[in-house]
Structure 1
Amino acid sequence: MMGGPADLVPLAPAVLPDGIAARFVDTGNGLRVHLLEAGAGADRPLLLLLHGFPELAYSWRKIMMPLAAAGYHVVAPDQCGYGRTTGWDGADPANFRMLRLVRDVIGLVSALGHHRAAAVIGHDFGAPVAAWCALLRPDLFPALVLMSAPFAGPPSLAANPAAAAAELDAALAALTPPRKHYQYYYSSPAAAAEMDAPAAGLAAFLRAYYHMKSADWPGNRPTRLATWAAAELARMPRYYIMDREASMPATVAAALPSPAEIAACRWLSEPELAVYAGEFARTGFRGGLQWYHCASFGIGREEMQIFAGRAITAKTLFIAGAADWGVYQAPGSFERMQETACSDFRGAHLIAGAGHWVQQEQPEAVVAILQSFLG
């Protein structure tokens, strides 16, 4: 699947908060990037907001206007493989390797008429992209904010992710009951087909997925994990360490909130959910899943290993929800981020009342932290 028809129009103003506009930008490397922006102007410092999976530029809608009001040109792109950005080829995982994604971001800075960004801010899988932007080009990205996904540094020269993933998969399969890691599942051929056409429908699947990873779901009580041992990882909820034969839609179906819970959800209304469902109904999930394929099987890893041992010198902040297992899902990464991976680390904030979707669940708290950090 390609990134969609070239005649796509920007996201309709009716679904966006007042002051946020949508448009397309050509980054010069084949992508026609669909983005949301507020406070437009090359004379204003640029803030780049990079979403994760399964999300969109739309995921930043609740914090864009307050940041624009503080004087910034705030830009959130649909990243390669997502939304209304076109020009990507979902059949070739090499299009989604990390340094290619960094090139996309650098091209966007230039296309917007800026010489650098005041900060790059990444959430979920957008966090490692933001981290690599700051690692490779601190002149362009002097400040970095990571959300929900700690960055432990570049891979070592001895790293063999494909072998490590296969070894972990075998160990999880030997548990009772047999389990599998969600990233290994996301890297499998079955994942896209199962997620593109869930039995309950796409909107219900996404509602259950977003709910189960939020602070609204009572099963989220994250704690540090000691090691990468299979039994230790299996302490996480099943949306991380899945039952062996289950799909992701089947895994989260049991957590589908009741109509009363949906009506009470202040951070994701039914019209907002409909934006996500409409976009993924058109694109499918394959583009986003290819990011996981690259990570699990080491596509692009050799070029990343060139930077083994190098630390991020940009000033760095970490933000996550206190109910987010993403902070601890990779044992040791939260600590390495603070101790070795970032030489100018300015603090980690775990926000009460938020799970994985921290900038949507607690936008006011996120904005206050960002404004203090950015000065």
Structure 2
Amino acid sequence: MPALPDIPLPAAIRSRFVEDINGLRIHVLEAGFETKGRPCLLLLHGFPELAYSWRKVMPALAAAGYHVIAPDQRGYGRTTGWDADYDGDLAPFRLTNLVRDALGLVSAFGYRSVDAVIGHDFGSSVAAWCALVRPDVFRSVALMSAPFAGPPPLPFDTADKPAAPKRDDPVHRRLAALPRPRKHYQWYYSTREANADMHHASQGVHDFLRGYYHHKSADWKANEPTPLQSWTAGELANLPTYYVMDLAKNMAETVAPEMPSKEAIAANTWLPDRELAFYSAEYERTGFQGGLQWYRCGTSGAFIPELQTWSGRSIDVPSCFIAGKQDWGTYQRPGVFEAMQKTACTNMTGVHLIDGAGHWVQQEQPDEVSRLLLEFLRQAGRDPGCG
């Protein structure tokens, strides 16, 4: 492999590799490594992001006394050992194997447990499953920008009833039949074309990512989310086009009209072009298919039976939820935000919607996210003092 360029990181963070973790060579960003014996925090990114997405909060967490590790997850960045073949085996990308990746990584660092697993976007789902499956290892959990509804239920009291017919969710046909035909982004991300649409976007990967990050941020002033009432085509059509797309457009075409002006890009402080350039260089090198495999695991339904193993279980370790107030992701699946607080998490100490942040909350408002995470860790009894 040719030498990879240096990562533009704060001085408190270093880049390294950890070998032989569940078949992977994992690239990790690490802070608070200078002294031994610190309690550990594991940070899990989402799509289309990288461990780099945590660069703005890692120094504050390390300064509070923690050893902070943030991997490029399976399918992403500089982590290798995964297969991005669309026709390959999806099983390595299923949620339970992503939990196994996390377990293997913290074990390799010499930890029997971590004080918290903190996940953003799709990483929030992995963090939730970590806390559900291994609460002895993941002693608290912070979910960010993607609420958790709990494990899928098992069919109940069916022995003396006729077998229910299996059928596809009609919402996709109904979205396509709307006066303004639409499609759901997760099912688009599961198509064979999605990777090439983004990797070979007509505007280039850099400008595609600029438009995508802008569209889902608080900088896009039309992001004024409200709860949806039901999983129906009419309700889902209220979501912005980055979630419920125009039927005839791919994602690169969807975000292109929302590209910020040169002046707005120059004024952006939470993702200046020199930092975006690292994301775009990594995705130009790897493509997007590794991350898209995660969506395919979900939309295929193939791994629901495995997840039903934990049907009826809740997250009982201390938990919190943090998201941007301008983030539609909190509400994109009707009822999940409420279910997280009522049934899925039995020890939720706080729900925080940060004004001035959209979906990329730990990048848009890193100081407030850091403050809330440290407050949560204190409430959960995970305060290390001054390391």
2:290 is aligned with what amino acid? G
Corresponding residue for residue 56 of structure 1: 50
Q: Aligned runs of 1:74-89 on 2, under 5 Å?
A: 74-89=68-83
- Is structure 2 residue 106 aligned with structure 1 residue 113? no
CA contact (8 A) 1:27 1:111 kept: no
> How far is the alpha carbon of 1:93 from its aligned partner?
1.5
1:318 to 321, 328, 331: 321
- Is structure 2 residue 20 aligned with structure 1 residue 17? no
Corresponding residue for residue 28 of structure 1: 21
Corresponding residue for residue 60 of structure 2: 66
Of 209-218 and 296-305, the range deviating more from structure 2: 296-305
Corresponding residue for residue 120 of structure 2: 123
- Structure 1 segments (4+ residues) deviating >3 Å: 163-166
1:232 is aligned with what amino acid? E
Deviations 1:153-190 (A, max 9, x none): 0011249xxx7764221111111111100000001111
2:182 is aligned with what amino acid? R
Q: Aligned runs of 1:178-193 on 2, under 5 Å?
A: 178-193=181-196
Corresponding residue for residue 174 of structure 2: 171
**Cα distance in 1 between the residues matched to 2:351 and 2:168:** 28
1:19 is aligned with what amino acid? A
Of 358-367 and 150-159, the range deviating more from structure 2: 150-159
Tell me: CA distance 1:165–1:50, structure 2 relative to 1, closer, same or farther (3 Å).
farther
**Cα distance in 2 between the residues matched to 1:257 and 1:130:** 32
2:30 is aligned with what amino acid? E
- Bigger CA radius of gyration: 2
Corresponding residue for residue 155 of structure 1: 152
**Cα distance in 1 between the residues matched to 2:222 and 2:189:** 22
1:276 to 274, 279, 284: 279
Corresponding residue for residue 217 of structure 1: 220
2:297 to 291, 294, 299: 294
2:248 is aligned with what amino acid? E
Secondary structure of 2:310 counterpart: coil
**Cα distance in 2 between the residues matched to 1:351 and 1:27:** 38
Secondary structure of 2:293 counterpart: helix
Q: Aligned runs of 1:317-356 on 2, under 5 Å?
A: 317-356=320-359
TM-score, length-normalised on structure 2? Answer: 0.92
Corresponding residue for residue 142 of structure 2: 145
Secondary structure of 1:47 counterpart: strand
Secondary structure of 2:57 counterpart: helix
**Cα distance in 1 between the residues matched to 2:170 and 2:108:** 43
Which sections of structure 2, spanning at least 5 residues, go unmatched? Answer: 157-165, 379-387
**Cα distance in 2 between the residues matched to 1:339 and 1:346:** 12
Secondary structure of 2:374 counterpart: helix
Deviations 1:223-261 (A, max 9, x none): 000000111010010111101110000000011000000
Corresponding residue for residue 163 of structure 2: none
How many residue pairs match? The answer is 365
1:86 is aligned with what amino acid? T
Tell me: CA distance 1:291–1:165, structure 2 relative to 1, closer, same or farther (3 Å).
farther
Secondary structure of 1:254 counterpart: helix
CA contact (8 A) 1:149 1:326 kept: yes
> How far is the alpha carbon of 1:347 from its aligned partner?
1.4
CA contact (8 A) 1:8 1:84 kept: no
TM-score, length-normalised on structure 1? Answer: 0.95
2:76 is aligned with what amino acid? Y
